[in-house]
Homo-oligomer: A and B are copies of this chain.
């Protein structure tokens, strides 16, 4: 089957309604394009789980703050289509901004607890933009299953809660972080990094590794674990911490000790590029 490219939301709707009528199972992988191996892993997971694999590519303006990188966010549609073909995507949805946000658009979904703190603190409005556009994509693509990366840990928590709270009949699947050979989490924003920043960017995964090693050695105090992670990050000249936090892996509530699965989440500016990474820490007794 050749790759089908759809730009009109109404056309997408017709296509997926046909598929539903034929009893085909639909998977959606929502992305902002500039695909890398992390996205390829999402597509592979979607392919495995569905008859019709839909990839959406939409750099969603409502999830960017006024001082963020919307205008310079990297784009490469030809490269994305090559990745999509190789991954066995059936349909690529590439809407225009005006088609997604018609005049007078004003509806936003808030997941009031989970969107607080972490990336929500430094990116006000970000998760309302994410949740709303994902709800729109769910309504347009009508997937049985939707696949997201675990690198955007808080995003996945917000979306899982939205799906449960609003009774979307969609299975959300999280896919583990895909890393470069040296450990850097794959991200479209890695393209912004200079050579020396690329080296400093490794401080994130090293900070996660240090904390994990301490936990393995018996350390359960989240304050001491955060301090150890910060110490590693401080060793990278171009790195400036946005946050280093340990939160309950499910509720994202702050925790003083690791007694249940706990996510160590990092956001770090390396030069002007904001990178995130995370790891779920568990004591051996859990």
**Interface set of A (CB-CB < 8 Å, partner B):** 9, 13, 102, 104-114, 131-132, 135-136, 139-140, 161-162, 164-169, 251
Contact = CB atoms under 8 A, between A and B. Distances in A.
11 contacts: A9-B167, A104-B113, A106-B111, A106-B113, A107-B110, A107-B161, A107-B166, A132-B165, A135-B166, A136-B165, A139-B168
Contact of A108 (B106, B110, B114): B110
B102 A164 contact: yes
A64 to B, nearest CB: 18
Given A139-B166, A166-B135, A108 B107 contact: no
A251 B105 CA distance: 12
Tally of this chain's copies: 2
A104 to B, nearest CB: 7
A13 B139 CA distance: 16
A148 B216 CA distance: 58
A97 B276 CA distance: 38
B110 A251 contact: no
A118 B136 CA distance: 28
Contacts of A102: 164
B167 A140 contact: yes
Given A102-B164, A164-B102, A139 B108 contact: no
A187 to B, nearest CB: 27
Contacts of A131: 107
Nearest to A114: B106
Nearest to A23: B21
Contacts of A162: 107
